[in-house]
């Protein structure tokens, strides 16, 4: 937090660059000049681990507000840091302009290096959009340098949709998404401003035994059978109902069902589910699994809590009812608790009923 405040107070105009690239996003944005990545929320960020060549660095992109972004590169060996603010605007003619407006830290060479990386990401992103697929790997030949890069894209990844880039002949030479998250206030900037790759710590897990008779937990389109280990949580209103297990904390395990009226949201089911996952911090991209059917989306992933450093296993289902309302089922548990009681929890998840 202290470093962030100092940087914000120490803005200095360092350089200015711009680029125009055709943006053929399949989801049309506003007709007038607007935010390039209008689908992303302010505070959304991604962090990559850059191991290309002999590098070992963290590279992050953060949406600061409607049209302003922050790019950051931190060298894990030297401690050198490049941070700058840039403006990204989509023009009405389908092009978008990128301009570096303020530099927080770093020299001109470092800024231009990171800026070049960003321009390459934009060009590659255009190639991904042209494919018209959620997941695809695109070969990128650099004949003049004698190598080929493979860019792997996934639709749920914020911003450039880039999950991983690796050199075809050297798969250890990579640029890989390792974290995605969001912050809602300036204190959370520390979760983006990393100087190490965070590691999880073990939670003191416990064994669960089935207790009492099953009772029906029903809300919206979902019905689950839970036993006496589960207690009604403090979250209960016309939109959401929840039960929890709290043996050692209030977050040992949760089962939550939600019904959000169609009048309160817009967009496709797929888009809404990706946004919902994007509100978690930190999502571990390597754990994300998505199953899409005609009438529902199922998502499984693990998040790492920035404060406790505990892993949490997440299991979400999203559906729309006949009236167009969004119905969701959420299960979450500390991963160590889930792993120790997988059979118990999976029995609840796998026996979930869909009711109309």
Query: Domain with 229 in it: what CATH number?
Result: 3.40.1000.10
Phi, psi of 230 (to 5 degrees): -95, 135
Q: What is the pLDDT of residue 316?
A: 97
Q: Is the peptide bond before 282 cis (omega within 30 degrees of 0)?
A: yes
Q: What is the pLDDT of residue 32?
A: 62
Is residue 273 in a domain?
A: yes
Is residue 206 in a domain?
A: no
Neighbours of 83 (CB within 10 A): 23
Residue 214: both structure tokens together: 């099953």
Shared-domain flag, residues 145 and 235: no
Shared-domain flag, residues 137 and 238: no
What gap in Å lies between CA 333 and CA 337, rounded to an integer?
A: 7
Q: What is the pLDDT of residue 348?
A: 97
Shared-domain flag, residues 32 and 73: yes
Shared-domain flag, residues 255 and 119: no
Shared-domain flag, residues 349 and 224: yes
Q: What is the pLDDT of residue 33?
A: 67
Q: How many CA atoms lie within 13 A of 165 on its CB side?
A: 22
Structural domain boundaries enclosing 231: 215-354
Is residue 234 in a domain?
A: yes
Shared-domain flag, residues 275 and 346: yes
Q: What is the pLDDT of residue 23?
A: 38
* Cβ 106 vs Cβ 71: under 8 Å: no
Domain count, the chain: 2
Is residue 205 in a domain?
A: no
Q: What is the pLDDT of residue 91?
A: 77
Per-residue pLDDT of the chain (356 residues; tens, 9 = 90+): 223 222 222 222 233 333 333 333 434 444 566 777 888 888 999 999 999 988 999 999 999 888 789 999 999 999 999 999 998 777 777 676 788 999 999 999 999 999 888 888 887 887 888 888 899 999 998 888 888 999 999 999 999 999 999 998 888 899 999 999 998 777 788 899 999 999 999 999 999 999 999 999 999 999 999 999 999 997 889 999 999 999 999 889 999 999 999 888 777 888 888 888 888 889 999 999 999 988 899 999 999 999 999 999 999 999 999 998 999 999 999 999 999 999 999 999 999 999 87
Shared-domain flag, residues 54 and 115: yes
Q: What is the pLDDT of residue 335?
A: 97
pTM equals: 0.87
């Amino acid at each position: 937090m202290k470093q962030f405040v100092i940087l914000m107070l120490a803005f200095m105009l360092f350089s200015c660059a711009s680029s125009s690239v055709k943006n053929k996003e399949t989801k049309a944005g506003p007709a007038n000049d607007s935010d390039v990545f209008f689908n992303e929320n302010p505070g959304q960020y991604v962090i990559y681990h850059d191991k290309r060549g002999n590098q070992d660095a963290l590279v992050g992109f953060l949406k600061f507000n409607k049209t302003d972004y922050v790019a950051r590169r931190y060298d894990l060996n030297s401690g050198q840091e490049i941070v700058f603010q840039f403006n990204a605007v989509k023009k009405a003619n389908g092009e978008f302009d990128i301009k570096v407006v303020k530099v927080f830290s770093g020299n001109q060479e470092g800024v231009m290096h990171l800026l070049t990386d960003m321009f390459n990401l934009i060009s590659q992103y255009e190639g991904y959009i042209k494919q018209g697929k959620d997941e695809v790997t695109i070969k990128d030949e650099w004949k003049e340098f004698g190598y080929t890069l493979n860019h792997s894209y996934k639709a749920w990844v914020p911003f450039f949709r880039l999950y991983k880039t690796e050199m075809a002949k050297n798969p250890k030479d990579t640029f890989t998404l390792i974290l995605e998250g969001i912050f809602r206030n300036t204190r959370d900037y520390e979760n983006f401003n990393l100087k190490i790759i965070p590691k999880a710590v073990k939670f003191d897990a416990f064994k669960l035994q089935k207790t009492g008779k099953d009772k029906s937990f029903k809300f919206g389109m979902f019905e689950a059978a839970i036993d006496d280990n589960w207690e009604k949580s403090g979250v209960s209103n016309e939109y959401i109902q929840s039960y929890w297990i709290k043996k050692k904390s209030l977050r040992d395990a949760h089962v939550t069902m939600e019904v959000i009226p169609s009048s309160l949201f817009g967009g496709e089911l797929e888009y809404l589910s990706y946004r919902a996952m994007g509100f978690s911090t930190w999502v571990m991209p390597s754990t994300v699994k998505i199953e899409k059917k005609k009438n529902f989306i199922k998502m499984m992933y693990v998040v790492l809590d920035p404060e406790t450093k505990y892993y949490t296993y997440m299991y979400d289902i999203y559906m729309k009812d006949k009236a167009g309302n969004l119905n969701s089922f959420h299960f979450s548990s500390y991963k160590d608790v889930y792993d120790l009681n997988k059979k118990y929890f999976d029995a609840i998840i796998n026996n979930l009923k869909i009711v109309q």
